[in-house]
Amino acid sequence: MSVYWRAVKRGQNLIVDDTHWLEEIIGGYRENKSGIDAYARTMGYEPERSRKGFDTVEDAKVFVESFSPWELFGVRDVNVEPEARPALG
């Protein structure tokens, strides 16, 4: 399994994939007129996993990764790939 960022319109999604290349979005950030919004996936209601108004993309990515959302899928001891992958399509 691997964890990586993938480019999407106006931002990036954090992805975990399995051995069958099935991708699951586990977080992300979007650049808006008012700043950068970021979230980390959860299986319940946890509003602290979402925040608006980041000044930099790097701050938003650090915020998302700090929750280790890949652990929701049983992935442990993984490093997020340093380079973002290009958008699909």
pLDDT digits (tens, 9 = 90+) for 76-88: 999 999 999 999 9
For residue 28 the two structure tokens come to 């992300």
pTM for this predicted structure:
0.93
For residue 32 the two structure tokens come to 């808006």
Domain boundaries along the sequence of the chain: 2-73
Which pLDDT tens digit goes with each residue over 10-50?
Answer: 999 999 998 787 899 999 999 999 899 999 999 999 999 99
Burial class for 39, CB neighbours closer than 10 Å (0-12, 13-18, 19+)? buried
26 in Cβ contact with 73 (< 8 Å): yes
